[in-house]
Structure 1
């Protein structure tokens, strides 16, 4: 795959800071070894999870946003691989495959005027190319019986996650999305705001639950669609955290009842977490503890097919803290899921 850069043992060794009488998480994870046969390697490697990065921000830019989401995977790996290996971690069950990268596309988008309809269409066509890579890669991983853990990029990549998983399972799948926004915008060309609507339109997505939507950013036309279609469910952050109309536990049950009765993907948009650097950083949102509880709850479910963390924007200032935060999320998922 042209845009896939595999993560090798050399890459791993360059990132790990070893200390006497300690074993780091990264020392025991498995790495890719061969550019030409990684499909067979995924199938034959004795792991449960395949960790991949999507290092792009083109989908966000095509939605007229700004982010450094293309840096998030590398920042996360630096921290994740240096966490401690102990009875609570399971690095032997993880293959760090690598990341999809698009430096040429990023350069192309810099030359475009995204206020121009013509140039905006060009950017959105680049997103369609990324879609194909993501869906093909996720297909290979799920078909091999592994669980993808996907880090980075915009929420446009939910489309590829859903398509690849649905094709591998030969059935539409459900989704639960922890997000301030629906990402169910019109079919106007691919971008980070319509990954779920495209997946729904093309038959890859069945039941879709949106957890903790922000009422201030719910478009009325989209809200009308949500209220009419029984396959679409949601609750709002204001109902949970402001008006106390529903408890957090009950909100988890709502999402579970709607979308976890059959195979589903778990999507986590960092826009929903208070004061986390992201493409749409919020001063009012879920706490980190609530986010970790959300992950823990759904990672325990037998029908979960993948876990995707997206939209976190990584700067030099935020790199270490953001990498640490996402490492907590990844390990929470693995620790809750590994015995299933």
Structure 2
């Protein structure tokens, strides 16, 4: 049965590599502690509220939505690698670790029916599993940081935060794809934002780095006809004289709150994913965007990465890439002790 696994201290300790003279984030992070008599694997708003952590880290290790979109399986492999890399990051004055509560991960069973329709039906079930957990996190004023998993999970994340705040979100997505496919196709990783719009949980939607080679014929007209959708094409960034981070700042500065931030790892060149690309953002481009951020996003979702794909391709650095992005996102809203260069 699909469920959510809440992590214990032993779950965290098993992933930390200790070394004399060093302290790791994993030695300081918070875990969910039951504050009520009920010790079952359920999440209480009151217990969440008691944590002083501002950020709640959790994983959705599944690739069912990707496969439902005819993509390569493997996105389910990123979570554990990313968590281990994050927990083994040095704890210091730049990032201590106690700012973060590591909640756990969703455990999602393989469906008996693995046809395309069966996978799309299962993706619907994943939506129903994910959004209530996200809703609880946002309801107590904390910021979910979600590691996927496929981009299908954008829909339940947006829904969970929107329901908690009782208003639609405005979302910016760093992605080579728009993921605005027709909802009539059934749920998959290519139409999460279409579903969020259809359900009234997504207001403004912006895509940064959309690649012309991945745009189907009718999409530009659809975007042009919508007052709530805006894109910047990757090809325009390549030919612009402005730095990417400057263009980014102009693109999001008027994005109203509450807002969410999506990072699809297939937008970063040579990061292992279902749609791995040789032409995309450099990792340091995205790190600059995150480290210079001054907006208070209501959630961060990093998705589509993999350490191993079903076809046998492997890259163990994906976890460290995700750990960089998570730590940069958190550090941007903290005072820096170093002088500006």
Q: So what's the TM-score if we normalise by structure 2?
A: 0.91
State the match for 2:249 in structure 1.
253
Q: Which residue of 2 aligns with 1:100?
A: 106
**The residue matched to 1:96 in structure 2 has which SS?**
strand
Contact 1:9 1:32 in 2 (8 A): no
Instruction: Determine whether 1:203 maps to 2:200.
Output: yes
Q: Determine whether 1:9 maps to 2:17.
A: no
Q: Report which of the two has the higher share of helix.
A: 1
Q: Which residue of 2 aligns with 1:213?
A: 210
- Segments of structure 1 that go 5 or more residues without pairing to the other structure are 113-118
Displacement, 1:2?
4.8
Q: Deviations over 1:184-216 (max 9, x none)?
A: 011121000000011011110000000000001
Q: Classify 1:317/1:12 alpha carbon distance in 2 versus 1 (closer, same or farther; 3 Å).
A: farther
Q: Which residue of 267, 270, 274 maps to 2:265?
A: 270
Output the CA distance in 1 between the equivalents of 2:280 and 2:2.
Answer: 38
Unaligned runs of 5+ in 2: 35-39, 336-341
Using the size of structure 1 for normalisation, the TM-score is: 0.91
Residues matched between the structures, number: 325
Match of 1:115 in 2: none
Structure 1 vs Structure 2 CA RMSD: 1.8
Segments ≥4 residues shifted beyond 3 Å: 33-37, 316-320
| Partner Cα distance (1:285, 1:104) in 2 | 32
In the alignment, which residue of structure 1 is the partner of 2:304?
311
The alignment status of 1:292 with 2:292, answered yes or no, reads no
Distance 1:320 1:120, change over 3 A: closer
2:2–2:109 CA contact under 8 A, matched in 1:
no
Contact 2:204 2:228 in 1 (8 A): yes
C-alpha displacement of 1:61: 0.3
Task: Provide closer, same or farther for how the CA distance between residues 267 and 251 of structure 1 changes in structure 2, counting only shifts above 3 A.
Answer: same
SS state at 1:91 partner:
coil
- For residues 253-304 of structure 1, the C-alpha deviation after alignment (integer angstroms, 9 at most, x for no partner) is 342145x222111000001001110110001000011011222244x213x1
Q: Which residue number in structure 2 is paired with residue 279 of structure 1?
A: 274
In structure 2, C-alpha distance between the alignment counterparts of 1:245 and 1:79, rounded to whole Å: 35
CA distance in 2: counterparts of 1:25 and 1:77, whole angstroms: 11
